Chains A and B, each alone.
Chain A
């Protein structure tokens, strides 16, 4: 998807970054008093989600830049923090939860980066170790041609040892990041899926091969890496295809350089189903065997998840016995039956991941 129109919030229209973005994009631009009229016109279109990917609204982040990842009490959360640089995405994955998360969904980018840097400075002075990512409400690397924010953040994080930045992506926009002095305080992370799913469900995303190529290059430049098998999608033949992805991963990437690998199966709020049905009539992923989970999201029937996870974890462990694998939002029963232990036996999931970050990225608390 390409951005066709730029809307600039009047409040930040004269910010140097706003002017830079305007010049860099060189597309029709309009300064607006408030986003209401943009929201209204997008909402009235037959495909507001698709339309929201073609307009960019640059504005000020009026809320917190650093926020806790929204977990629920029923499933084990990893204690991750989100750095809120912008919202939505230029790619178009069928399963993307952002389609029903924002009303209306719209590309927004925050230009008050001095406030963001101040929020980070605050995090860096705390005693708690933090794992912070930009890839929850957007893809971490789609903004680089508009504003190389990741490059700025990598350098910012390189100067401290309190927190680690995770850049999570399905793109390969890494060239300008490779030679930066990162001090291993940035983890370059890719979401992985089978070729079949990438081809049919991840519109505009890089191929598996390209993602692994990019990861290999980052490894050469000594970046720590992470991978996310999320969403795992059940379909005939999927297990063999996930094994193939795991093989390709470990054929090219040194497991000792992987900070963590996460697993999560496809889950969605019920209203996403209608959106997927309308926007992607050829996609069958919503016709899996889902039940309503304890948090109200649709999830694969638990025995099915147990069986799927067990196979994938066993294979990852076979290829890379020492690698840290964790679940995104699963419960103790899943952990116990598939991993053989509970996070609480090791101080909880946040502690497990903090330790992985300490080991791989050289984090220290202020009191160390």
Chain B
């Protein structure tokens, strides 16, 4: 690349022109400090505009830092005025890629900007390869969807509060709901699996209860838990997850509570382990006994024999839901 090194007056650089900006990094404080003490090690790249102006290709934060510490001019690398725009953009992206790994939003921005000059995804993939972007069609589609999300959600993707898979799910919600879910996740910091679980529960519950997701998680009992100052983050998360499950699966919740009550009433010793079939679907219950001696074994066998007539045990095996009327 043929650059011309030149000292350029800061007032000639249009800092508002973000045509080639890829980076989402914001604070310039630490750079300002380093520039004022060591100077500019790596001069920004500029592209000439009109007779005397310049557009930033790379070095947005460095230029902002220079301005902040009061410089009036800086040394820069100037691109030829006849250089094609796609190649200037490619240079801007490559410059970022060579310095650090781009975050998802930066990659999404890069894709969108490349799309202004390249007609289809095949061209974007092959051009991306030349400038250090590893892309495929599916990833490009995901990045495009990501780019449509609001700035606040994108910020949460950058800060890793919201993973890509969840962000793409938020893309399917109405704007208010997407924002509220993002805020909710930001507040309570659930793990990825918890986020997936919560998102599915609130989506389905909102459908069942004919209300919006934002209304569901902002108001009523969930809103109250979120706003409860006496609870810490993990307590809130635990309560909300339990509440969502109970509301989404009332019969299952009801039955599990009944099972727990019946099981407790059996007062089984710790050495007898009773398990129902998974989801109570199969027919095979299991009972495991642990013992250290013949005497202990005999005691456990006696307990098992007594169990056969215990009403709570029979109740469990029947898999019957009580007060069924309320369920339908």
Contact = CB atoms under 8 A, between A and B. Distances in A.
Given A234-B327, A301-B255, A303-B319, 17 more contacts: A237-B328, A238-B328, A289-B250, A291-B281, A299-B281, A301-B279, A301-B280, A302-B279, A302-B280, A302-B281, A302-B319, A306-B321, A307-B321, A308-B328, A311-B324, A331-B283, A333-B319
A234 B252 CA distance: 14
B276 to A, nearest CB: 10
A252 interface: no
A293 interface: yes
18 contacts: A235-B328, A239-B328, A287-B248, A289-B250, A289-B251, A289-B252, A293-B281, A299-B281, A301-B252, A302-B280, A303-B255, A303-B320, A304-B252, A304-B321, A306-B320, A306-B321, A307-B327, A337-B319
Contacts of B207: 284, 287
B208 interface: yes
B260 interface: no
A281 to B, nearest CB: 9
A236 interface: yes
A294 B282 contact: yes
B204 interface: yes
Given A236-B328, A289-B249, A303 B208 contact: no
Contact of A307 (B248, B249, B283, B320): B320
Interface string B230-256: 000000000000000000111110010
A285 to B, nearest CB: 11
Q: Is the interface of B mostly helix, strand, loop or mixed?
A: helix
Interface string B271-283: 0000000011111
A332 B282 CA distance: 10
A346 B207 CA distance: 45
Nearest to B205: A287
A303 B316 CA distance: 11
Contacts of B319: 302-303, 306, 333, 337
Interface of A: 234-239, 284, 287, 289, 291-294, 299, 301-304, 306-308, 311, 331-333, 337
Interface residues of B, number: 21
A237 B327 CA distance: 9
Which 4 residue pairs spanning A and B have beta carbons closest together?
A291-B279, A239-B328, A303-B319, A303-B321
A333 B328 contact: no
A307 B280 CA distance: 14
B99 interface: no
B199 to A, nearest CB: 14
Nearest to B255: A303
B262 to A, nearest CB: 13
Given A302-B319, A304-B321, A287 B279 contact: no
B318 interface: yes
A337 B318 contact: yes
A234 B328 contact: yes
Interface in B118-167: none
Contacts of B204: 287
A319 to B, nearest CB: 19
Given A237-B328, A289-B252, A306-B320, A333 B279 contact: no
Contacts of A287: 204, 207-208, 248
Nearest to A286: B204
Contacts of B252: 289, 291, 301, 304
Contacts of A331: 283
A304 B281 contact: no
Contacts of A235: 328
Nearest to A74: B282
Interface string B207-238: 11000000000000000000000000000000
A234 B328 CA distance: 7
Nearest to B258: A303
A238 B208 CA distance: 16
